[in-house]
Chains A and B, each alone.
Chain A
């Protein structure tokens, strides 16, 4: 069981000594950062702000060592076979774009995605469709937002790549990744898993999943912004063309020729975000001290309470399955004919409660369902039952005046 008091003390913004703490329910967009992450980044900037991998001095060596350490920490965290399968990117979006532009898709190749993809996992494929003529197919979900394996099995034939969200930022539904990957592999399709929303809340074992590629962001898992990870099985990464090229991607070059470095360097062009990498390593270390079952249990408890209270309000409709157990730490809701931005603004102004409103970068789903927008509560390990209660009290106040 999580000790939220102890956890909250690790976050400067949540420390009551620093004034009134916000009720932060927008972790699906951006998690808060523990002090250790910030301190590690500050330590880099204060004490060894040098380049990794190229400078032969003590400061450079220290950065190289730290970057290597972080690669190892992350590899261990997701149980990758080796650290070279970890490529640092800016975020999940960059990871997906990296694969889209490196895998060598040809005209007529089929990419299969779900109907609840974030724009990050929709637009790159639509762009390739328009540029080179790939075919993008959509897997329709069940009515409650859960994944429909039958639809998937029907559509998988002839597919080159399945690019699919693991946990949806729209409704919190976690897709059955292992089954999807198994079916995809049986049909000779590769699988990219968008783990941006799942990795902060669930233990992910890439070997157990047998996933080919995986992308996630640091900023949703207690890490800094501007740093993410793209994982790929080594043998597959070796076959990929580099996405961006330049400094630190080549072993040698002449005016006529060049020779790329091996994976992962060939994908990490230019000077990297060393502070971000070091911060991400610290975030993963921090997160690793917890049992993910405890995090899930804690989020479920809060989600269940909020869900039950929302279900008592007839005007409110929750997006996704009714049962909180199937929605991770996300409660996304809307009211017919209501602009939910107003809800978010009022909660913020009234009680310093931060929630997200809008279409959550899943415009395609909202357009298809003809829903204007929604308000999303997303929970994490530092949230408390008192915060959930305060949210409900203030939400009911707002409902009263409508």
Chain B
């Protein structure tokens, strides 16, 4: 079995070194003999074994003796490990392409928050004590039983729907936002936007956004794009809110009155309550045809999801 390992290793090294290429050829000859049920008596196996043993023997005669005695077992073990690790590497490569992370979903950065206060629980002392923090998982994030009807929506009758839950103050949301815009433009999907105040004080922008969507539906999406793409410090400064509204020719007084009304506060709070039903724990949370992604992913990941190129 060592000859198969050697063939793979020396073939890779052979890309860079001619001497390793010669060894790869010897290994190939050996493998060919093994697969045709002939003994590998070319001396290659002994050469490799000798080289390994000579390294071991200078460190520990005992280890060298064990290796020499159980050489076939070691060879098989290494072979199986190599096959296993190769599969793992391939899976990692696939994950990286599909999810933007070798480990699969939920490993990229996001703006974490804890709406249920679960992470602030006091751990009990005693034999049965357990950490109050539980690992969050994308698998538990869902749109089931979530009413999205009150959120800004572009419904163009597509079979695909993208839901973007983001926060104006969250850098990760701001990073993912252009890709999502590109996606919906390119793939012409239905689109739902939800603002979730995950970081800092962005509630006022949520309230304003609610009112702008209510009164200026046609201009809302440009306004929303601006909030995600303009200078963050400028946008998040309450003192600049009127200036921004004015730049879009909105009725500043009307929007402010709407935003400060109890009705709006109540409606926005209801929206947040609906969003909490998704079990989200960070922004951006993006649903593409109900498949959740927490944190920004490479554009190809979103696109692959729409193309249904995900196997597991």
- Report A's interface with B, CB cutoff 8 A: 339, 341-350, 397-398, 400-402
Contacts and interface: CB of A to CB of B under 8 A. Distances in A.
Contacts, number: 45
Interface in B182-236: none
A146 B49 CA distance: 36
B294 to A, nearest CB: 52
Contacts of A347: 54
A401 B64 contact: yes
A345 B51 contact: yes
A400 B61 CA distance: 8
Contacts of B46: 339, 341-342, 345
A343 B50 CA distance: 7
Contacts of B68: 401-402
B57 A341 contact: no
A349 B46 CA distance: 13
Interface string B36-62: 000000010011011101110110010
Tier of interface size on chain B:
10 to 19
* Majority secondary structure, B binding face: helix
Contacts of A398: 53, 57
B136 interface: no
Contacts of B54: 345-350
Given A339-B43, A341-B43, A346 B65 contact: no
Nearest to A358: B43
Given A339-B43, A402-B68, A397 B57 contact: yes
A100 B141 CA distance: 90
Contacts of A341: 43, 46-47, 50
A341 B43 CA distance: 7
Contacts of A345: 46-47, 50-51, 54
Nearest to A343: B50
Nearest to A402: B68
B266 to A, nearest CB: 80
A349 B50 contact: yes
B47 A397 contact: no
Nearest to B69: A401
A344 B43 CA distance: 12
A397 B57 CA distance: 8
A402 B61 CA distance: 10
Interface string B12-55: 00000000000000000000000000000001001101110111
Nearest to B56: A401
Nearest to A338: B46
Interface-centre pick from A344, A349, A401 (highest chain B CB count, 10 A): A401
B310 to A, nearest CB: 49
Contacts of B61: 397, 400-401
Nearest to B63: A401
A162 B55 CA distance: 49
Nearest to B58: A350
Nearest to B45: A339
Interface-centre pick from A339, A346, A348, A402 (highest chain B CB count, 10 A): A346
Contact of B65 (A339, A342, A400): A400
